[in-house]
Each structure stands twice: as C-alpha cells, then as structure tokens.
Amino acid sequence: MAAELATPAWMIGLRLLWGKPERGELRLDGGLVAFTSEDIGLVFRAPVEEVRASFPKMYLGVGAKLAVRGKTYRLWFVPLVTVSDPGRGYHTSMAWEYFDQARARARRWRAALEPPTNGGH
C-alpha cells in the first residue's frame, strides 16, 4: 500500500502563463489520489492504480501531468500567482524562491506514482 502524502499544488490549464491556476492540495491516502481545489472543491479522486503520472522535462522538475479516467490534469508544486499586467491583462508567475521545495515535492510524487521496476519482468 502506498504511504500517505499531501502537498500543496496548483492546477494549471494548457496555457500556464495566461490562465488562472487553481490552488489546492494533492493527496495520496488509503490508496486514493485526490486533488482538492480551494475554490471549487474536489476535482478528482481515484485509486492510485488508475492514475497515470508523467513528469515532463518542460515542467522544469516542479510539475506533473496526471491522467485520471480519461482526463489530464496539469499540476505544479511551485506556488503560482496571477498578476495583473496593464495592457496585457493577467498572467501567471512562479514564486521562484520555492523552486527547490517544489522539486522535492515532485520527486516524492514521482516515487509514489510511478510503477516500481521489477527487473524488466
């Protein structure tokens, strides 16, 4: 059984820089993976065996893509803030001072969600 894990995470859309990130918590507890947004509540909950995770290099080691029941969720573990930019509208910015913490969170999630290797069998 997978160990319990809970970390802050930000759900992003396809266009990170121009969307509003959803702040919430990604949790693994009792064999279930769930993301709960502070604004909209429970986004998904599924058995860990049904969650397919990838950790794209383009996410700089601070994010993951989770596929749950045919839907893809893009999550970042570094705090994201929406900034108003006169003339350009809103865009999202990363809190760079938390980058090392975010990478550590991503590593923990990778260890929890990637299938174990069994010697090639």
* Residues 6-40 pLDDT 10s: 999 999 876 554 567 889 999 999 999 999 999 99
**Token couple for 89:** 């509208």
pLDDT of residue 1: 42
Return the amino acid letter for 47: P
**pLDDT bucket at 118, cuts 50 / 70 / 90:** low
Give me the domains of the chain, ranges plus CATH numbers.
5-113 (2.30.29)
The conformation of residue 38, written as its DSSP 8-state character, comes to T
Measured in degrees and rounded to the nearest 5, phi and psi for residue 82 equal -90, 130
pTM of the model: 0.81
pLDDT of residue 87: 73
Q: Nearest Cα to 35, choosing from 49, 51, 20?
A: 51
**Cα gap 52→89, rounded to integer Å:** 34
Map tokens 């160990």 to a residue.
3
